[in-house]
């Protein structure tokens, strides 16, 4: 059953704005996520990378039901829970949980950690007092925090500790899938590793599936089984982590990897390449990366490349007319 | 494993952040005016409450024979009014009524106003529009006119006056609370509560309301005085308290007709209204100051334009190192809160040559920013102060020169580039205006010449189509472009040193790579020295020749970037390199640094890293560890450094 899809996203789209205003004039629309189809398999970690504004967080929020797709479907474990989430979020929340980027902002400053962690136990699982107490100590143990911390307030914690509380909250209802939206980006480098190691341990212990979103390529590379690269609301490359990072096919992935700073290497990028994203209110007809792409041709400008297997490898797909060769 | 360290170690409790009630009360009592207000208000309230117990004559019994006694008459301490009623008794009973009405009106207005504000702010969209348009409509009428209209419809009477006052004050609460609720509802903890299964009503009242409560209390304490005054106003016009019942307003109204023959009849209730409203407002301001987080954090106290320099020993003539543009020696910067001294920077040497780039790396709070900001006196005073050291800019001691000279140097010889370009760029002026101003502020030249120069600068930082871009506002540019504009501004007047504090941290990787490449090129072509602050060794590799690793306010290792990365000698440096994943090495085990840095108001005598150091021995904790030479151009603050042979990585 290792390969069964736990979550499948089918042609998901999220448009903000649009429609008409009071006077019947069309309002500008932005396609934050467009035509995204991807499966998350049971037990894997799917990494999603991309730069700010590429739609990563919008996609994440749709998966957990905080936002709804304007078209397409998101099916969890064979059930269209996400569509139901508009009416009752609780069923979805029992299965799919979320870890926020800013650990401190995601904890209510006026609640103790106990109250924060009890909320899902009460509202999602309906546990009684005794069962809650038992579960709380399990949770604190799982994220390696002393039980004394339960009666403290969020401002008394460091970023790393606060993020572990955020993880404990996500674990509370015993979900199958956790969406982690930049879970270590707000943390100091020295505590990133703590949190990443804890996440790794929990995944094995509880048989979790992760969707791990980050703009930091090295973090994504170190945690993911499969990786999807997003650009301008679409997935432009997807495949096994190893394959995507070693042999990037899409020119954008290539650029990302070249740009990422790494200890012991000087930058390989020229300072005058354009880094502008296309105008979201007036997207280009063809490939969105065309303006920045060194391999672009007229074809790219005229037509939209589809996400397709490159050179026979079904698991590795890229949306590009002129992909890089496998090195 | 050692993970338990962090788990059981107590999180530090910042001294100035606990928010218990006794603390708030103490803060309030620190404020003399508020304390005076509190005392007067308490006295008035207690007297009013005790009215039935006090030996007072009936306030409403008329005695025409005793009319208009002066104050201090026999049996009538404050005299009598035109109907011979005892003024003292009427005053106390009247105050009771005024207080009751004012406070009830406040509670009613606060309840309904806050409810409307909460719901509008939380629900947003149409509900918000609908509710707030309603509130706007109420606010469109002049305040007192509306109150008069309401009383006119309901008929005069104390209760109706109360309703009227409450209604006209609802919009005030609704608007205030809506703004706060709107902000809070977009916060992540609200999403988190939703995913924890809470319903909208639960989120609104369990999650949002407690965070809004301080604002409601502030608003109440600052409005109750006005409401009492407004009630008095209505009663004065005869629309509130009806005879024979007294409240302060109606007493004032009664006295008006005989103001010249018996002034005390109106002056006494007038003084009482004054004392009451004044004391409430003083108290209210005090409460606001205590509860308002901005005031608490000191964000509204105006710091000096330049960091205070209080050096124990004024250094004698120090020869700058040859070839150094910037030469900082033994820099110490402290923050003082109450009795405690936080040694944010505890003796740091920095040397930057022409066209050289020195990187400062360290965890958050290690003092990188403070060290860099100290150079040009940009650390806020109070609470900051430079407690020692010299900063030589081409031989000139920056801590000794005049304020005028510092002002000249800021932005010309020494420029800053910050993490957030929007903190440098003013949102309401075009990029061109700001660049031209920066150019003209240091060298007077005609506008046309300055404009040409601005175009040159934008060209230099590789902004396409510069002449057009001058007309753009900051928000019209992408993050990377804005940072380029900031770099252009830093170059406006032939900078010799650029102090860049995490200039690329907020940027996307591809943009970051370009900005780094740009800075690298500029320093080579224009011979500018760069002091580059970052927490990322990858970024250091991309641009810095030399790097200094900072920990708890001190440098623990300095040397050439390549060497330090290849063979870190200080255990902290080694750990800092090992704890981040490296692209292309996904299998590498991440080695977290357990524990956390010491708080700088309580540094150990010995090595500050000892608590977290795997190599620590007893002698590490015994005495301060000096920064000692470790091969050519390298120094390490460790007595058991990792030797190259021992092999790292
Ligand atoms: N205005 C201030 N008032 C009081 N204390 C301050 C102030 N600014 C900084 N500090 C304290 O000085 C110490 C060093 O802070 P600094 O900002 O230099 O760290 P940093 O290394 O730049 O961290 P980061 O990576 O988070 O930017 C910290 O303990 C901090 O709390
Ligand atoms: S489709 Fe064309 S423009 Fe787009 S990435 Fe591929 S080569 Fe570049
Ligand atoms: S001096 Fe001792 S405790 Fe400090 S870093 Fe060196 S070995 Fe570790
Ligand atoms: Mg800083």
Structural contact between residues A65 and A92, judged by C-beta atoms closer than 8 angstroms: yes
* Residue A288 counted as domain residue: yes
Cβ distance B579 to B591 under 8 Å?
yes
pLDDT of residue B317: 65
CA distance B404 to A183: 47
Residue B10 has pLDDT above 80, yes or no: no
Domain containing residue B92: CATH number:
1.10.3720.10
Query: In this structure, are residues A300 and A292 in contact, taking their beta carbons and an 8 Å threshold?
Result: no
Asked if the Cβ–Cβ distance from B586 to A221 is below 8 Å, we say yes
Q: Give percent of chain B above pLDDT 90.
A: 32
**Residue B6 reports pLDDT greater than 60:** no
- Are B383 and B416 in the same domain? no
| Interval between CA B604 and ligand 3 midpoint (Å) | 12
A327 belongs to a structural domain:
no
Q: Does residue B93 share a domain with residue B67? A: yes
d(CA B531, CA B353): 10
Residue in B191, B197, B550 to test binding to A, most A beta-carbons within 10 Å: B197
Of all protein residues, the one whose alpha carbon is nearest to atom 8 of ligand 2 is A296
A324 within domain boundaries: no
**Which residues 85-104 of A have a C-beta within 8 angstroms of B?**
89-90, 93, 97-98, 100-102
Shortest CB distance from B514 goes to which of A149, A173, A271? A271
Same-domain check for residues B218 and B249: yes
**Chain A residues with CB-CB distance to B510 below 8 A:** 51, 255-256, 259, 269, 275
The answer to whether residues B114 and B67 belong to one domain is yes
What token pair was written down for A227?
Answer: 């990786």
Contacts of B210 in chain A (CB under 8 A): 108, 110-111
Residue nearest to atom 5 of ligand 3 (CA): B638
C-beta A295 within 6 A of ligand 2: yes
Which of B240-254, B301-315, B559-573 shows the lowest per-residue confidence on average (mean pLDDT)?
Answer: B301-315
Q: Is B539 near chain A, with CB under 8 Å?
A: yes
Final residue in a domain of this structure, among B291, B317, B332: B291
Work out the angle between the directed axes of helices B248-256 and B87-123 (0-180°, nearest 10). 130
Sign of CA dihedral B33, B34, B35, B38: positive
Whole-angstrom Cα distance, residue B363 to residue B379? 19
Out of B375, B402, B429, pick the residue that ends a domain: B402
Between the CA of A57 and the centroid of ligand 2 the distance, in Å, is: 24
Considering only alpha carbons, which residue of chain B is nearest residue A91?
Answer: B197
Cβ-defined contact of A189 to B211 (cutoff 8 Å): no
Given a cut of 50, whether residue B8 has pLDDT beyond it is: no
Give the tokens for residue A305. 């490349």
Do B373 and B239 belong together in one domain? Answer: no
Region B313-337 average pLDDT: 81
In terms of pLDDT, which residue wins out, B193 or B483? B193
Averaged pLDDT of chain B:
85
Q: Which pLDDT band, with edges at 50, 70 and 90, does B18 fall under?
A: very low
Residues of A in contact with B197 (CB under 8 A): 89-90, 93, 119-120, 122-124, 173
* Res. A1: pLDDT tops 70: no
Q: How many CB atoms lie within 10 A of CB B1?
A: 6
> Is residue A294 left, alpha or beta, with left meaning phi > 0 and alpha meaning psi from -120 to 50?
alpha
What span, in angstroms and rounded, lies between the C-alpha atoms of B444 and B447?
9
Mutate to test the interface with B, among A159, A188, A253, A278 (most CBs of B within 10 A): A188
* A125-143 pLDDT per residue, tens: 999 999 999 999 999 999 9
* Domain count across chain A: 1
Task: State the pLDDT at residue B12.
Answer: 40
Q: Does B15 map to a domain?
A: no
The Cα A199–Cα B92 span in angstroms is 68
Average pLDDT rounded to a whole number, residues B479-489: 85
B442 domain-assigned: yes
Q: pLDDT per residue over B511-545, tens digit each?
A: 888 888 888 988 888 899 999 999 888 899 889 99
Q: Which residues of chain A have a CB within 8 Å of the CB of B479?
A: 52
* Nearest Cβ partner for B514 among A260, A266, A269: A269
Nearest CB partner across the interface for B518, out of A215, A256, A271 = A271
- Residue B110's nearest CA partner among B189, B19, B22, B176 is B176
Q: How many CA atoms lie within 13 A of B531 on its CB side?
A: 28
Domain of residue A56, residue span: 5-318
Q: Which atom of ligand 1 is nearest to the CA of B370?
A: 18
SS3 helix, strand, coil % of chain B, rounded to 5?
50, 15, 35
My answer on whether B377 and B420 are in the same domain is no
Tell if the CB–CB gap between B196 and A124 is shorter than 8 Å.
yes
Q: Is residue B349 part of a domain?
A: yes
Say whether B590 and A255 touch across the interface (CB within 8 A): no
Tell me which residue range forms the domain holding B379: 302-402
What does A206-217 look like in DSSP terms, one character per residue?
HT-EEEEEES-H
A322 lines ligand 2 (CB under 6 A): yes
* Residues B142, B200 within the same domain: yes
* B504: number of Cβ within 10 Å: 27
Q: Whose CA is nearest to atom 1 of ligand 1?
A: B380
Percent of chain B past pLDDT 70, that is, above it, reads: 93
Categorize the per-residue pLDDT at B296 as very low, low, confident or very high, splitting at 50, 70 and 90.
low
User: Is residue B527 a part of any domain in this protein?
Assistant: no
Of the candidates A106, A110, A267, the beta carbon closest to that of B517 is on A267
pLDDT mean over B109-130: 92
Q: How many CB pairs under 8 A join A and B?
A: 219
CB of A251 within 8 Å of a chain B CB? The answer is no
Q: Of residues B109 and A5, which shows the higher confidence score?
A: B109
Q: Which residue has the higher pLDDT, B27 or A11?
A: A11
Is residue B471 situated within a structural domain? yes
Q: Pick from B622, B620, B637: which is nearest to B362 by CA?
A: B637
Chain B CB within 8 Å of residue A9 CB: no
Mutational pocket test of ligand 2: of A295, A306, A307, A319, the residue with most ligand atoms within 8 Å of the beta carbon: A295
CATH of residue A216's domain is 3.40.50.300
Cα separation, B127 vs B135, whole angstroms = 12
Inter-chain CB proximity B193 and A146 less than 8 Å = no
Q: B307 and B283 in one domain?
A: no
> Which one, of B291, B167, B156, B168, lies nearest residue B222 by Cα?
B291
Domain match, B417 and B383 both:
no
The answer to whether position B534 is within a domain reads no
Report yes or no on B597 lying in a domain: yes
B176 found inside a domain: yes
Ligand 3 nearest atom to the CA of residue B617, by list position: 2
Which residue in B has a C-alpha nearest to residue A160's C-alpha? Answer: B6
For B168, counting Cβ atoms within 10 Å of its Cβ (0-12 exposed, 13-18 middle, 19+ buried), the class is buried
Average per-residue pLDDT for chain A: 88
Write out residues 102-161 of A within 8 Å (CB-CB) of B: 102, 105-111, 119-120, 122-124, 144-146, 149, 152, 155-158, 160-161
Among all bound ligands, the one having the nearest atom to the CA of B367 is: 1
- Per the structure, the count of domains in chain B is 4
CA of A95 to the centre of ligand 1 (A): 41
Ion ligand 4 residue ranges (Cβ < 5 Å): B 369
B554 in contact with chain A, both atoms CB, cutoff 8 A = no
* CATH classification at residue B386: 3.40.50.300
**Count of alpha carbons within 13 Å of B49, Cβ hemisphere only?**
6
Identify which has the larger pLDDT, A79 or A311. A79
Strand partners, B390: B329
* Option in B194, B541, B596 nearest A265 (CB): B541
Q: Is residue B82 located within the same domain as residue B218?
A: yes
Same domain, B80 and B172: yes
Better-scored residue on pLDDT, B99 or B298: B99
Q: Within 13 A of B263's CA, how many CA atoms are on the CB side?
A: 3
Q: Which of residues 185-244 of B touch A (CB under 8 A)?
A: 187-189, 191-199, 202, 207, 210-211
């Amino acid at each position: 059953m290792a390969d069964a899809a736990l979550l499948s996203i089918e042609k998901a789209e999220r448009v903000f704005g649009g429609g008409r205003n009071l006077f019947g004039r069309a309002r500008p629309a932005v396609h934050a996520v467009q035509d995204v189809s991807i499966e998350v398999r049971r037990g894997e970690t799917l990494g999603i990378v991309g730069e700010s504004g590429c739609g990563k967080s919008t996609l994440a929020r749709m998966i957990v039901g905080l936002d709804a797709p304007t078209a397409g479907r998101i099916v969890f474990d064979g059930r269209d829970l996400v569509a139901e989430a508009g009416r009752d979020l609780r069923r979805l929340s029992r299965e799919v949980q979320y870890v926020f980027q800013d650990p401190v902002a995601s904890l209510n400053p006026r609640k103790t950690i106990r109250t924060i962690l009890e909320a899902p136990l009460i509202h999602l699982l309906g546990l009684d007092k005794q069962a809650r107490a038992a579960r709380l100590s399990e949770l604190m143990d799982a994220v390696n925090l002393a039980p004394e911390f339960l009666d403290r307030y969020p401002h008394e914690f460091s970023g790393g500790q606060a993020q572990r509380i955020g993880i404990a909250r996500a674990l509370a209802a015993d979900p199958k899938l956790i969406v982690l939206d930049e879970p270590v980006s707000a943390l100091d480098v020295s505590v990133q590793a703590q949190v990443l190691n804890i996440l790794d341990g929990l995944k094995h212990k509880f048989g979790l599936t992760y969707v791990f979103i980050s703009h930091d390529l090295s973090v994504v590379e170190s945690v993911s089984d499969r990786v999807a690269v997003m650009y301008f609301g679409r997935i432009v490359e997807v495949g096994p982590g190893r394959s995507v990072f070693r042999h990037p096919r899409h020119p954008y992935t290539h650029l990302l990897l070249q740009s990422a700073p790494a200890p012991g290497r000087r930058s390989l990028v020229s300072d005058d390449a354009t880094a502008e994203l296309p105008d979201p209110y007036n997207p280009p007809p063809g490939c969105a990366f065309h303006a920045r792409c060194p391999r672009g041709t007229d074809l790219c400008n005229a037509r939209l490349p589809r996400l397709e297997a490159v050179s026979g490898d079904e698991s590795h797909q890229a949306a590009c007319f002129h992909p890089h060769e496998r090195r | 494993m050692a993970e338990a360290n962090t788990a059981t170690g107590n999180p530090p409790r910042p001294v100035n952040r606990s928010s218990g009630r006794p603390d708030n009360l103490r803060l309030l009592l620190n404020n003399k005016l508020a304390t005076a207000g509190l005392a007067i208000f308490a006295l008035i309230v207690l007297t009013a409450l005790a009215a039935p117990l006090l030996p007072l004559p009936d306030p409403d019994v008329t005695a025409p024979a005793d009319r208009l006694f002066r104050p201090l008459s026999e049996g009538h301490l404050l005299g009598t009014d035109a109907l011979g009623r005892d003024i003292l008794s009427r005053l106390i009973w009247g105050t009771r009524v005024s207080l009751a009405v004012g406070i009830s009106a406040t509670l009613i207005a606060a309840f309904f106003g806050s409810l409307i504000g909460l719901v509008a702010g939380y629900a947003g969209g149409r509900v918000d529009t609908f509710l707030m348009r309603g509130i706007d409509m109420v606010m469109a009428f002049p305040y007192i006119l509306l109150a008069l209209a309401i009383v006119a419809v309901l008929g005069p009477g104390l209760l109706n006056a109360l309703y009227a006052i409450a209604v006209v004050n609802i919009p005030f609460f609704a608007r205030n609370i809506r703004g706060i609720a709107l902000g809070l509802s977009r916060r992540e903890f609200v999403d988190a509560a939703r995913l924890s299964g809470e319903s909208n009503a639960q989120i609104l009242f369990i999650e949002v309301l407690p965070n809004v409560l301080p604002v409601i209390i502030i608003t109440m304490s600052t409005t109750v005085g006005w409401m009492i005054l407004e009630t008095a106003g209505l009663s004065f016009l005869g629309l509130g308290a009806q005879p024979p019942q007294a409240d302060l307003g109606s007493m004032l109204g009664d006295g008006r007709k005989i103001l010249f023959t018996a002034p005390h009849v109106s002056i006494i209730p007038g003084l009482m209204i004054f004392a009451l409203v004044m004391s409430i407002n003083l108290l209210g301001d005090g409460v606001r100051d205590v509860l308002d987080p901005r005031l608490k954090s000191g964000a509204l106290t105006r710091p000096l334009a330049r960091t205070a320099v209080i050096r124990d020993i004024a250094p004698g003539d120090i020869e700058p190192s040859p070839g150094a543009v910037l030469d900082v020696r033994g820099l110490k910067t402290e923050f003082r809160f109450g009795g405690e001294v936080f040694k944010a920077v505890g003796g740091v040497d920095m040397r930057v040559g022409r066209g050289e780039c020195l990187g400062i790396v360290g965890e958050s709070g290690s003092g990188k920013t403070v060290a860099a900001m100290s150079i040009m006196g940009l650390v806020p005073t109070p609470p900051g102060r430079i407690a020692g050291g010299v900063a030589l800019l081409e031989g000139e001691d920056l801590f000794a020169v005049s304020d005028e000279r510092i002002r000249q140097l800021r932005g010309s010889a020494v420029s800053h580039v910050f993490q957030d370009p929007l903190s440098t760029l003013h949102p309401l002026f075009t990029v061109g205006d700001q660049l031209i101003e920066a150019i003209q502020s240091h060298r007077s030249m005609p506008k046309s010449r300055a404009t040409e120069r601005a175009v040159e600068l934008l060209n230099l930082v590789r902004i396409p189509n510069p002449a057009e871009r001058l007309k753009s506002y900051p928000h019209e540019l992408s993050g990377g472009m804005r940072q380029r504009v900031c770099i252009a501004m830093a170059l406006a007047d032939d900078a010799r040193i650029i102090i860049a504090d995490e200039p690329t941290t907020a940027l996307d990787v591809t943009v970051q790579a370009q900005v780094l490449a740009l800075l690298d090129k500029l320093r080579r072509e224009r011979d500018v020295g760069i002091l580059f602050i970052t927490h990322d060794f990858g970024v250091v590799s991309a641009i810095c020749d030399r790097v200094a690793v900072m920990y708890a306010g001190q440098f623990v290792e300095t040397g050439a970037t390549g060497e330090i990365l290849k063979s870190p000698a200080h255990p902290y440096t080694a750990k800092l390199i090992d704890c981040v994943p490296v692209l292309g090495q996904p299998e590498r085990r991440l080695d977290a640094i357990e524990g956390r840095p010491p708080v700088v108001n309580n540094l150990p005598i010995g090595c500050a890293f000892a608590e977290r150091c795997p190599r620590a021995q007893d002698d590490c904790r015994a005495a301060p560890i000096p920064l000692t030479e470790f091969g050519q151009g390298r120094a390490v603050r460790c007595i058991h450094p990792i030797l190259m042979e021992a092999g790292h990585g």
